[in-house]
Chain A
């Protein structure tokens, strides 16, 4: 994985391409970051101020956008009147719960698939992956009917189970790659040293920690950002942030201020998580892919 200096010589074509790249990146950054900026700023604005926007083409009037008295009233509204603190908790429990269950079961399954040879192993592995091939919507109706007869609809355990169904195959798939990269000799050395098989598995877990960390993050992101499962399986008793935000759009009244604030509340934790584990995530995901 070592980076190497690549010798390059400037030609008119590469120069043109470099300028094009810079321009492209600028446009791309505006495209992706501006909506977040608007959301962030608007969440601190009174509604009247929020809709004060300069006319199209009036670049001098852009200052209007930043002329406002900051207010926290939308956030107060979210947490005092709209019960968002319990929705945050629901989101955390659903995302965290399914991540923990998936990673525990997933690492055991991945370890077995990586270490033990048995008949039909490849078919089993393919079957596990194939559950991720159909879009979520395709299985939603049967899943809903199963969950309803088990009285899991509208409950947090139901939502955790639904996310786990989708995260577990993913966990097995990613983690198997990590276990494959750990030399078997290390466990053998452990066993000769006096470890049992489960102790040997525990001993190599630190070696797959980057993979487990990366996977937990992806798992949490999937569940945290999910709307479909949350709206259908979790509706009612286990309302998560995306669903609660959606409900702020009512036919007679769209509560823009609260929606902006809810957007910030939903995205900021994941952005912070991303920043904290950024390095970990990159090494984790590439480590699994590169076989030495």
Chain B
């Protein structure tokens, strides 16, 4: 088990920088998820930790030991690959025994460790099969099994459940999280699926274009995104963005939009920090909005229902405004029909304002 630190780490492919000046501290025993879209540098980051890519600049430390120049085999990490990378000509047992065998462990010890890992993952009955005789979920368990047999300092999981079907993925999320808690080993888990990161990680590092956008707990990242990009990437359905103006009117500061005007709370005004007038981007999650067919007393956004999507326990309503379309999450009993006028309310504590140019969050 180890603490992992990134000190100004860069990865360059020729002139192209895939990872830019990355600084992360990951405490011992933490489940850290590196989240970002494809091409954001998250896989390069993981491969630098594993030693499969050189570190162009900066240092990576395990505890306080610099590991930049160590070969993969000397780093004592275990990795689960996106495509599992099982050895096709070896049985499940041999696959899982491989790391121990390469480290010269005795046959008895190997058998004991492999069986222990197999029973944890419930794959004891598959020991003599070959990888091609396994289902996707089983292959994935074997790949995890190969990683956990030898109690490494650090687990590296590279989108391990991306290729499973949705139901199995949901199941494996819980299992992987539980396994990490049980073993207590530091875990770095790369994914492009914000739901995986949100549901499993202790800490999330959101990356975009090779740069770390935000490092925080899932709650922080969800409730207090540092910029519009993070706000838009995390959360499903995605956050609504509206281009608005801030305007002082008598004693109030108002957020104005062709469809509505919303008075800011004093602490929100304070957070705007002198940005007393001019354009801002308003961000509001679908679940911070309410919808009604009757005009209500509180300040509301008026719009027209564009389409309804019933998702079993929830309903998502797309509402057409003058210049944009927003999505509202509501109860499945909502009975508005497309084309009808509707009234959308905003939870005044749960919306965000972003700088119109830089995207930086005011609150």
Residues of A within 8 A of B (CB): 183, 185-186, 188-196, 199, 203, 206-207
Contacts and interface: CB of A to CB of B under 8 A. Distances in A.
A179 to B, nearest CB: 15
Contacts of B51: 191-192
Question: Sorted from nearest, which 9 A-B pairs have the closest CB atoms?
Answer: A185-B85, A194-B102, A189-B85, A193-B99, A191-B72, A194-B73, A192-B79, A206-B89, A185-B81
A191 B89 contact: no
B89 A190 contact: no
21 contacts: A183-B83, A183-B85, A185-B83, A185-B85, A186-B85, A186-B87, A186-B88, A188-B52, A188-B72, A189-B81, A189-B146, A190-B87, A192-B51, A192-B52, A192-B72, A192-B156, A193-B98, A194-B73, A194-B102, A206-B89, A207-B89
B71 A191 contact: yes
B280 interface: no
Nearest to B80: A189
Given A183-B83, A185-B83, A188-B52, A193 B146 contact: yes
B78 interface: yes
A24 to B, nearest CB: 40
Interface string B65-76: 000000111000
B113 to A, nearest CB: 13
B316 interface: no
B50 A192 contact: yes
A183 B72 CA distance: 18
Contacts of B50: 188, 192
A82 B125 CA distance: 64
Given A190-B98, A207-B88, A207-B89, A195 B73 contact: yes
B83 A194 contact: no
A192 B74 CA distance: 9
Interface residues of B, number: 23
A196 to B, nearest CB: 7
Contacts of A192: 50-52, 72-73, 77-79, 156
Nearest to B47: A188
A207 B87 CA distance: 9
Given A185-B82, A192-B156, 14 more contacts: A186-B87, A188-B50, A188-B81, A189-B81, A189-B85, A189-B86, A190-B98, A190-B102, A191-B73, A192-B73, A192-B77, A192-B78, A193-B78, A195-B102
A25 B351 CA distance: 80
A191 B156 CA distance: 14
A268 B72 CA distance: 51
B103 interface: yes
Nearest to A209: B89
Given A188-B85, A191-B72, A191-B73, A199 B79 contact: no
A196 B51 CA distance: 12
Given A186-B87, A206-B89, A194 B81 contact: no
Nearest to A195: B102
Q: Which of B50, B71, B72, B86 has the most CB of A within 10 A?
A: B72
A20 B7 CA distance: 76
Given A183-B85, A194-B73, A203-B87, A189 B102 contact: no
B52 A199 contact: no
Contacts of B88: 186, 207
A209 B223 CA distance: 55
B52, B77, B82, B156: residue with the most chain A Cβ atoms closer than 10 Å: B52
A114 to B, nearest CB: 17
Contacts of B79: 188-189, 192
A191 B71 CA distance: 8
A186 to B, nearest CB: 5
